[in-house]
Amino acid sequence: MSVEALFLDASVAKLNQLTDRIAVCLGKLSVDQIWARGHENENAVGNLVLHLDGNVRQWIVHGLGGKPDIRVRDTEFAAQGGLTAEELAARLRKTIGEATAVLAGLTTDQLTQNHEIQTRTVSGVVAVLSVVEHFAQHTGQIVYATKNMTHEDLAFFGPRPR
């Protein structure tokens, strides 16, 4: 297997794993908890999910896949409700499905050439790595917020050794 294929397979696997974790978190929160903000400078879990959806769509589906850029970034943070846990999870899964289809079809040339994404010039490798890193960071925030609100161990890693 080529380095390119290993990189893309690992990226797809990580995005799917993190999407599953976000779905678990959403499933444990009420609608009020999903949209709760501790203060005006804090994003709700719902805002973070919308933000991840927009970022993946803009960087991968549009930037690498050539689909139209439909992102309106400010609305991701301005939302204060209107979507349920199920709707947010379904929306994110749909976008991740589209993005992973793009990733599965990328060639070495597409990974090494430069792309203009969000006013930046980046290689395909940097675009993919940036999306996975960004997705992981915000997933961590969602997990942390969920644990704080539910006081539950989300059991992503199984029991801890003693």
CA 31 to CA 156: how far, in whole Å? 22
Two tokens at 146? 């969920």
Read off the tokens for 118. Answer: 């969000």
pLDDT tens per residue across span 1-27: 899 999 999 999 999 999 999 999 999
Domain carrying residue 139: 3-150
pLDDT band at 81, cuts 50/70/90?
very high
* Domain membership flag for residue 162: no
CA–CA separation, 6 and 21 (whole Å): 22
- Separation between Cα atoms, residue 60 and residue 102, nearest integer Å: 7
Instruction: Examine residue 103 and state whether it is found in any structural domain, yes or no.
Output: yes
What pLDDT shows up at residue 41?
A: 85
Residue 70, domain member (yes or no): yes
Judge whether 11 lies within some domain: yes
Q: Which residues contact 148 (CB under 8 A, 6 or more apart)?
A: none
- Asked if the structure places residue 155 within a domain, the reply is no
Task: Assess if residue 145 is contained within a domain.
Answer: yes
The domain that holds 88 is classified in CATH as 1.20.120.450
What does the alpha-carbon distance between residue 29 and residue 49 come to, in Å, rounded to a whole number? 13
3 state SS of 121: strand
pLDDT bin (cut points 50, 70, 90) of residue 160 is low
What pTM does this model have?
0.94
Domain count, the chain: 1
Does residue 134 fall inside a structural domain?
A: yes
